[in-house]
Amino acid sequence: MNQVLPESRCPALLVAAPASGQGKTTVVAALARLFSRQGKQVRVFKSGPDFLDPQIHAVASGASVYNLDLGMCGETDARWRLTEAAAEADIVIVEGVMGLFDGTPSSADIAELFGIPVMAVVDASAMAQTFGASAHGLASFRPGLPFSGVLANRVGGAGHAAMLRDAMPSGMRWYGALTRDMDATLPERHLGILQAAEIPNLLARLDRFADVLEQTGLGELPEPVRFAAAQKPFVPRLLAGRRIAIAHDAAYGFIYPANLDTLRDLGAQLLFFSPLAGDALPEADAVWLPGGYPELHGARLAARDDLWRDLHAFIDAGRPVLAECGGMMSLFDTIVDKQGQAHGLAGVLPGRALLQPRFVALGTEWLDLPEGTLSGHTFHHSRTETDVLPALHARGADGRQGEAVYRRRRLVASYVHLYFPSNPQVVAALFAGNMPDAVATESKEP
């Protein structure tokens, strides 16, 4: 039986921007840090299927950060997570994705659906009075959007800030101005900002930026928002007593907290291990190789003959393995990094994964497996060359063909990052040890 969550009220803010690269991730993290060090309970959410920003926000807020994606996760999932968070938090902060109105669904859709006021972060480094026009456009483009005000980022100084404020539309809240501070920016690589554990002095960076935010008056809580009663889905304990080994380190760090919650709710015992640290494959009933950056650690992973040998035996014994994106890349014979260096890896799947200079795929997809349907998303800079025929393809938006899905006995491997709460029963079937072997992926004829 589903758990009924009563209506709750909590101050809330959705931090958006007119485009990517405006600085909203840094602002959200600093805002979460500011309230957290005041002793407040802070809950941060991330619009879209991102893995990296939530890691930063988890450090800043001291709490797990969940995704709100009306496509991949669905409205029901978003609704109960927000209601549950609002019941225990002093403030709920949602970081938008891309521009405020970009995508279908968009950050604006989330703000309007749940009545969360929007604060837009605008890079004003090359603006003067046009800043006011940008603010007006964001506020008026969609009637009914709960637009609150604007924060000017990367401002040149007090005179520049005054000019921007004077250009603001009448009645719109001015959240303040942040000057340029390169020391507080978050370093990036090809898939976005660095993982939280890779950023030196992360808390010091966030504290420095939080100090500046506090001077703008952003340390004051926004107005409470009403979050309607919702039903939290019941998850049956279909994996009770099952042990799942999960690779987790800088090479395999793309893990939704909601996925871990789902596995625990299903009753599984989670055993984390680090391929980079030399950990052996744990004694487990199933293995999960999440996505991440195996291409950045090719030499160290290539030296793990023991791990790949044990994984071969595990798969050959008909035991369940799920490999997503970087996890799947590790199963091929080689990974070729951006420098053209080839690294020999598991060799479970013949062929190679090659890093590319630009995105290869990005978007929400659905896997219609024999066990049932799961939602997820794809986001990668590599492509594969293999003689292996896919067992099936994921289903993309508007009916387009999505990513290839490879199956060998109980192995399921693809570029798709699955969202386990979309169908816990299917997740249980994939990780259970008593299911028949999947239809084997076949090789092409020579």
| Euclidean distance between CA atoms 146 and 148, whole angstroms | 6
Beta-bridge mates of residue 287: 245, 321
Catalytic residue among 52, 286, 325, 428: 325
Q: Angle between the 24-37 and 202-215 helix axes, to the nearest 10 degrees?
A: 90
Kindly provide the residue ranges of all beta strands, DSSP E only, lying in 214-318, ordered along the sequence: 224-227, 230-232, 243-247, 269-273, 286-289
| Euclidean distance between CA atoms 322 and 330, whole angstroms | 12
Asked whether 359 and 381 are in contact (CB, 8 A), the reply is yes
User: DSSP assignment of 127-154, as one string?
Assistant: -STHHHHHHHHHHHSSTT--EEEEEEEE
Buried b (16+ CB within 10 A) or exposed e, 209-222: bbebbbebebeeeb
| Euclidean distance between CA atoms 281 and 289, whole angstroms | 11
Residue 73 bears catalytic tag: no
Tokens 């988890």, located at residue: 58
| Whether the bond into 187 is cis, omega within 30 of 0 | no
CA angle 173, 175, 177 (to 5 degrees): 135
What is the 3-state composition of the chain as percent helix, strand, coil, each rounded to the nearest 5? 30, 30, 40
Asked whether 138 and 150 are in contact (CB, 8 A), the reply is yes
Q: Of 308, 14, 324, which Cα lies nearest the Cα of 145?
A: 14
Active site residues: 325
